[in-house]
Copies of this chain bind each other. A is one copy, B any other.
Amino acid sequence: MAKDLIVLDPFPRTVEAVFDTQQFARLEGLGEIVRIDSRNDPASLDAVIDRAVAIIGQPDLAEERLRRAGKLRTVINIEGNFFPNVDYDHCFQAGVSVLSIAPAFAYPVAEMAIGLALDLARGITSADASVRTGGEVYGSRGNAHAGLITRSTIGIIGFGSIGRAIRRLLTGFSVKILVHDPWLPAGAIREEGCEPVALEELLSRCDTVFVSAAVTSENQHLLDRTTLELMRPDAALVLVGRAGIADFDVLLDMADKGRLRIATDVFPTEPIPADDPIRRSKILLSPHRAGGMRAALSTAAEMILDDLALILAGLPPVRLLQARRETVGKMRSKPASYR
């Protein structure tokens, strides 16, 4: 009798990039593994779909294919976003858990966000450059624009796993945290010790604003000139979600005029065009490196193994992000630069 299978279809990642030797051994302990590449060889998936209990990857899973996947209990997206190439309704009805490794990126991204905010607050990058060119200014004379995070007011736009990780990392900083998240009721935000506010209030009250919202059908260019003008003079803005939420022409203008201090890890077009003026702007620039790092993928592999073991034991997954019927259709992420 044919065995149940765990199907590995990791494109554009590789199995080796996700699982180290020890983790892969643990994976093999959970069931029979088959490795395929459905992107380049769609038939490879069709050949095993009826025996698959789990698929790790982000293959096309239209209804027709899913109808043949009678044993399937979970699809684990390892790109980090839910794409529209899966018939989610079918999965919800059939009790197939569709999961994503997105939470594994929460602390990596949040640490980068804090690092960028401290750089904006203290001018670390520009001061280092000044010493190299011999124009450094010492002590308080160089600190005219420097500020503290401690005891300041912080805004977080988008309170998913990244936003919550930012909040947690800031525990020791004695900050007041305002949160704007239209998918969360006030009480859920207060439970985390934060103050729920409307976007406008958040922008106008905060010293530093972190943007960690996913791009959805509802928040394109939420940060345009009108809303950004609400920010306090010299306030700091750190973008670590998707770029689409902000109008970058406005960001560029406001940073260069000294109206705002801005750092971003995301860009409207990646790679950044060679002649994009942002390369010469006053924005602190991070080439989409907040999440994709070895430590994140190692955490992701652990989360996959943990949840897969639970599912195969008839228990609900608890570590990965579970696609929810109500929101999965609102996501507008395109495959990113495969962090």
Residues of chain B within 8 A of A315, CB atoms compared: 183, 326-327
Q: Which residue on B lies nearest to A325, using beta carbons?
A: B95
The answer to whether A219 has its CB under 8 Å from any CB of chain B is no
Residues of chain B within 8 A of A173, CB atoms compared: 169
Residues of chain B within 8 A of A288, CB atoms compared: 138-139
Residues of chain B within 8 A of A272, CB atoms compared: 131, 136
Interface of chain A residues 93 through 118 with chain B (CB within 8 A): 93, 95, 107-108, 111-112, 114-116, 118
- Would you give the shortest CB distance from A233 to chain B, in whole angstroms? 15
Interface size class of A (residues with CB under 8 A): 35 or more
A289 and B142 within 8 A (CB): yes
- Would you give the shortest CB distance from A45 to chain B, in whole angstroms? 25
The answer to whether A188 has its CB under 8 Å from any CB of chain B is yes
Picked from B93, B127, B314, B337, the residue with its CB within 8 Å of the CB of A285 is: B127
A132 and B279 within 8 A (CB): yes
A294 and B143 within 8 A (CB): yes
- Would you give the shortest CB distance from A304 to chain B, in whole angstroms? 11
Encode contact with B along A285-324: 1 for CB under 8 Å, 0 otherwise.
Answer: 1111101111101000011001101110011101100001
Question: Given A132-B279, A138-B271, A143-B289, A303–B169 Cβ distance below 8 Å?
Answer: no
A128 and B125 within 8 A (CB): yes
Question: Given A107-B150, A119-B115, A128-B284, A337–B143 Cβ distance below 8 Å?
Answer: no
Picked from B143, B183, B291, the residue with its CB within 8 Å of the CB of A292 is: B143
Most buried by B among A93, A148, A270, A284: A148
Residues of chain B within 8 A of A326, CB atoms compared: 311, 314-316
- Would you give the shortest CB distance from A16 to chain B, in whole angstroms? 13
Picked from B127, B128, B314, B318, the residue with its CB within 8 Å of the CB of A185 is: B318
- Would you give the shortest CB distance from A119 to chain B, in whole angstroms? 6
Residues of chain B within 8 A of A92, CB atoms compared: 95
- Would you give the shortest CB distance from A36 to chain B, in whole angstroms? 23
B125 and A124 within 8 A (CB): yes
Residues of chain B within 8 A of A171, CB atoms compared: 171-172
The answer to whether A129 has its CB under 8 Å from any CB of chain B is yes
Residues of chain B within 8 A of A139, CB atoms compared: 287-289, 291-292, 336-339
Picked from B111, B148, B191, B295, the residue with its CB within 8 Å of the CB of A118 is: B111
A272–B172 CA distance with the chains assembled, in angstroms: 34
The answer to whether A121 has its CB under 8 Å from any CB of chain B is yes
B119 and A112 within 8 A (CB): no
Interface of chain A residues 123 through 175 with chain B (CB within 8 A): 123-125, 127-132, 134, 136-140, 142-144, 146-150, 168-174
Picked from B115, B149, B184, B318, the residue with its CB within 8 Å of the CB of A121 is: B115
Contact sample, A vs B, 16 pairs, CB 8 Å cutoff = A93-B93, A119-B119, A128-B285, A131-B272, A132-B280, A137-B287, A139-B337, A140-B338, A142-B287, A148-B293, A150-B169, A169-B172, A172-B172, A185-B309, A315-B327, A316-B325
